[in-house]
Structure 1
Amino acid sequence: MIDREAVVKRLRDHGITPTQQRLDIAELLFERPQHVSAEQLLARASERRYRVSKATVYNTLGLFAEKGLVREVVVDPAKLFYDSNLTPHHHMYHLDTGHLEDLALEHVDIGKLPDLPEGTQVEGVDVIVRVRQG
């Protein structure tokens, strides 16, 4: 279980007012590094008897992503995960099971990036390796 005061500090450090619902959602997200969809988070909140609506979960996750507390990982147009692990890494998505796992940077060789337009810089490179049982 994560320390509630640490969650309050983390939210405030990112310019987020720590309401009860935001604290409940943050507690679920940050208790361990994980990939979670809004639906999974809503189910966990319900299991713990947290009083949060579906709209609140989606809005809070959007706010957390905007403020840099989680990273959105789009595995396909209909599936979005929120990643509480903000250290640089890539992902492997299992199409058959819907499981998303971390891939260490050293396990993916990106090679050469294209020449960038003048005055721009790379903000990040996200790799999602999609696999299916063969």
Structure 2
Amino acid sequence: MTSEYSPQLSSPSAAAVADGPTRDRIIEQLHLHGLKPTHQRVRVAEILMAAPTHMTAEQILAEIRRGGERVSKATVYNTLKVLAQRGLVRQIHLDPERSVYDSTIVPHHHFHDLETGELRDIDPGDIAFSRFPTLPEGMEAEAIEVVIRLRKKRPAEA
């Protein structure tokens, strides 16, 4: 893990954009990752990559529809799947039925508020491991992702 965490896009051409990548930069990123920049891919990427964020597919779909555009739920899910497979966004599995897509693709960790569902980034430099388990035979670690689930403190019992 690196201590140079910055919740920005990791590619040099996109990192220079303070308010998120422009449409042209998103199209460039899609090309660089071997993807055809279809209207739907560009639109989903624009919403997700406008700023460091964590969004569900349903939130992205609602945002697209709020703008008056028609798009199917399957198209949004398929687009997010391919963006994640190509490394343009990170898919975070919060539970078996819910994933969140993270526009910050550099390795980092999260606080997950169980009441609101909100995810907040944790700088990887803020977590230290003193021990790591022995990996199964023939396996290597690809990534370490820590999600710390939070809930409001319960009142102390009298």
Q: Could you state the TM-score of these two structures normalised by the residue count of structure 1?
A: 0.92
1:35 aligns with 2:54: yes
SS of the residue 1:8 aligns to: helix
1:78 lines up with 2:97 in the alignment = yes
Report what 1:87 is aligned to: 106
| Aligned mates of 1:29, 1:11 — CA distance in 2 | 14
User: How far off is 1:49 after superposition?
Assistant: 2.1
Letter of the aligned partner of 1:46 in structure 2? R
CA contact (8 A) 1:24 1:50 kept: no
| Letter aligned with residue 99 of structure 1 | E
Of residues 48, 65, 68 in structure 1, which corresponds to 2:87?
A: 68
Identity of aligned residues (%): 43
Structure 2: give runs of 5+ residues left out of the alignment.
1-19, 154-158
CA contact (8 A) 2:111 2:121 kept: yes
**Structure 1, unaligned stretches of length 5 or more?**
none
| Matched-pair contact (CA < 8 Å) for 1:35–1:83 | yes
Size of the aligned set, in residue pairs, is 134
The verdict on how the C-alpha distance between 1:110 and 1:49 changes in structure 2, with shifts beyond 3 A counting, is: farther
AA paired with 1:51? R
Superposed CA deviations along residues 48-77 of structure 1, whole A, max 9, x for unmatched, are 223321110001001111111111111122
Equivalent of residue 77 in structure 2, options 54, 58, 64: 58
Structure showing greater relative contact order (alpha-carbon pairs closer than 8 Å, 6 or more residues apart): 2
2:124 pairs, out of 80, 105, 108, with 105
Q: TM-score, normalised by structure 2?
A: 0.79
Q: Aligned to 2:104, what secondary structure does the other structure show? A: coil
Q: CA deviation at 1:128?
A: 0.4
| Residues 111, 150 of structure 2: 8 Å contact kept | yes
RMSD, matched Cα? 1.4
Q: 1:14 aligns with which of 17, 24, 33?
A: 33
Amino acid at match of 1:115: T
Deviations 1:69-95 (A, max 9, x none): 111111122221011101111011000
Structure whose CA Rg is larger? 2
Shift of 1:118: 5.0
CA distance in 1, matches of 2:84, 2:47: 15
